[in-house]
A and B are shown apart, each in its own frame.
Chain A
Amino acid sequence: SQQGEEDPQALSIQEGENATMNCSYKTSINNLQWYRQNSGRGLVHLILIRSNEREKHSGRLRVTLDTSKKSSSLLITASRAADTASYFCATDAIQGAQKLVFGQGTRLTINP
């Protein structure tokens, strides 16, 4: 079963604009990770944010985490055509599990 939901399910923007994707989850977590998946391929790890962190940056990526609201956001600044992909958040629950639980993903399209 999916841990939570990503919003929006699909997003289409112009190259150079910023893209924001949101993720909600249900249980208490150790970490939250964001992954990118190009069509028909494996997942690429983008960034991990720990439950005691509120914001993290990596290049053009900015991730926030609000554990009180059980939500996270991924911001991609100055988008490029190569950013076109599906983006997934994945959580690692505190209770006894080493597995990642994924949302359904946001399909991002960057128009040139």
Chain B
Amino acid sequence: DTGVSQDPRHKITKRGQNVTFRCDPISEHNRLYWYRQTLGQGPEFLTYFQNEAQLEKSRLLSDRFSAERPKGSFSTLEIQRTEQGDSAMYLCASSLSRVLVGGRSYEQYFGPGTRLTVT
């Protein structure tokens, strides 16, 4: 257990439905990330937050995807009008940004993921 939790762990939905996932990071971590992982591939970056500000979004994040992090604590990722291609594992990670002599250094700690299946 890394201290990052995600809910739900599994979600099966029909094409066209909306789904929302939640991530609770490690409490003192100021950065939160969302990644998507398809079978046999490494995770791919979707978006990240520094406190409550969303600072970067991947081109993978189409208009149907939206993420929020109100008050800089937990985060939600919503997918509207789901498509079969959205089926994947959605991973959340958190980190504490710290600056060391010679550059930045941080580890990202991942949650267990939410596996989405769109039928």
Selected interface stretch from A12-20, A47-55, A60-68, A76-84: A47-55
| Contact of A45 with B105 at beta-carbon distance under 8 Å, contacts A2-B42, A98-B55 already known | no
Distance (whole angstroms) from the CB of A74 to the closest CB of chain B: 14
CB distance from B99 to the nearest CB of A (A): 11
Q: Are A35 and B102 in contact (CB-based, < 8 A)?
A: no
Q: Does B76 contact A (CB under 8 A)?
A: no
Binds A, one of B13-21, B43-51, B65-73, B79-87: B43-51
Q: Which residues of B contact A88 (CB under 8 A)?
A: 42-43
Per-residue contact bits, chain A 86-112, to B (CB 8 Å; 1 contact, 0 not):
001010100001111111110000000
Residue of chain B at shortest CB distance from A89 = B42
CB distance from A100 to the nearest CB of B (A): 6
Bound complex: CA A35 to CA B35 (Å): 14
Q: Assess whether B110 is in contact with A35, with CB atoms less than 8 Å apart.
A: yes
Q: A98 — which chain B residues lie within 8 A by C-beta?
A: 31, 33, 48, 50, 55-56, 97
* Count of residues in A whose CB is under 8 Å from the partner chain: 28
| A45/B45 in contact, CB under 8 A | no
**Cβ of B62 < 8 Å from any Cβ of A?**
no
Q: Which residues, 19 to 69 on B, are CB-close (under 8 Å) to A?
A: 31, 33, 35, 40-45, 48, 50, 55-56, 58
Name the residue on A nearest B50 (C-beta).
A98
- Whether a CB of chain B sits under 8 angstroms from the CB of A27 is no
- Residues of B within 8 Å of A33, CB to CB, are 107-108
Cβ-defined contact, B112 with A41, below 8 A: yes
Chosen A-B contacts, 25 in total, with CB atoms closer than 8 Å, are: A1-B44, A2-B41, A2-B44, A31-B104, A31-B106, A40-B89, A41-B112, A42-B111, A43-B91, A44-B2, A48-B107, A50-B102, A52-B102, A52-B103, A92-B104, A97-B56, A98-B33, A98-B48, A99-B45, A99-B56, A99-B58, A102-B42, A102-B44, A103-B42, A105-B41
Q: Which 7 A-B pairs have the closest CB atoms?
A: A102-B42, A99-B45, A43-B110, A42-B112, A42-B110, A42-B113, A88-B42
